[in-house]
Amino acid sequence: MIFYFAIQTVSVASQIALEEAGADYELRRIDFKTTEQRSEEYLQINPKARVPALATDEGIITETPAILTYIAQAYPAAELAPLNDPFGFAKLQEFNNYLCSTVHVNHAHKMRGSRWVEEDDKDSQQAMTAKVPQTMTDSFNLIEKGLLAGPWVLGENFSVCDCYLFCISNWLAGDKVDINDFPRVLDHHLRMRERESVKKITAIHGI
């Protein structure tokens, strides 16, 4: 498999999951500074011009929640998801989908406001940036008070949700939110940093 990623992006979540799975994969770095994600070559991999993308023998998979559950299904021995429990699997999906459709979207309003207003409308983009600390705080209040079952996201068993939460909780400082306001999230974050998978991937990303 080939994993296409960019430094200090949501790629971190899937990369940690690949390590946790013991997967055999190659890394292919996409350079956002030269907007390589919009190159003809990369648009063949992912026409959405985003990372990550996972090239498998059968084809390419994009979207973090899809990659995470694929890894869990492709490496069942790693027990990264409750694969034989539809309700447990739904709770995993619910968590991952909250991160991708609400929390990551909140965060994206800091730097990527031009997705949703005109490129030259700097006032609106600044207004979006200004609200990010509040929206990220609201989201992490929900995670702190309920979505994070503890000690791991889904309870006693580690899962791909933990890789994803670690990745996004690492954005809080840059979003001007103090992770210390969320003691359970902080505890989770610190326990993640003790794992070999996380040490390896955070070194690659310099985070």
The one among 3, 42, 70, 164 contacting its own copies by CB under 8 A = 70
104 binds its own copies (CB under 8 A): yes
Among 38, 48, 112, 200, binds its own copies (CB under 8 A): 48
Closer to its own copies by CB, 2 or 142: give it. 142
Q: Which amino acid is at 39?
A: S
**Contacts of residue 17, Cβ cutoff 8 Å, sequence gap at least 6:** 67, 68, 71, 72, 80, 160, 163
**Encoding tokens for residue 80?**
């990264």
- Please report where in the chains the tokens 């940690």 appear, as a residue: 16
Q: Tell whether residue 77 is a contact of its own copies (CB under 8 A).
A: no
Could you say whether residue 65 binds its own copies (CB under 8 A)?
Answer: yes
- For residue 25, what is the enclosing H or E element? none
At its nearest, how many Å lie between its own copies and the CB of residue 4?
14
Choice from 116, 178, 181, 190 touching its own copies (CB under 8 A)? 116
Strand partners, 54: 3, 61
Give the residue from 202, 200, 205 showing the smallest Cα distance to 23.
200
Backbone φ/ψ region at 53: left (φ over 0), alpha (ψ -120 to 50), beta: beta
Identify which of residues 74 and 207 has a Cβ nearer to its own copies in the complex. 74
Considering only residues 159-188, where is the footprint of its own copies by CB under 8 A?
none
With the C-alpha atoms ordered 13, 111, 126, 113, is the resulting torsion angle positive or negative? Answer: negative
Interface ranges with its own copies (CB under 8 A) = 47-48, 56, 58-59, 61-67, 69-70, 73-74, 86-87, 89-91, 93-94, 97-98, 100-102, 104-106, 109, 115-118, 121, 123-124, 127-128, 130-131, 135, 142, 145-146
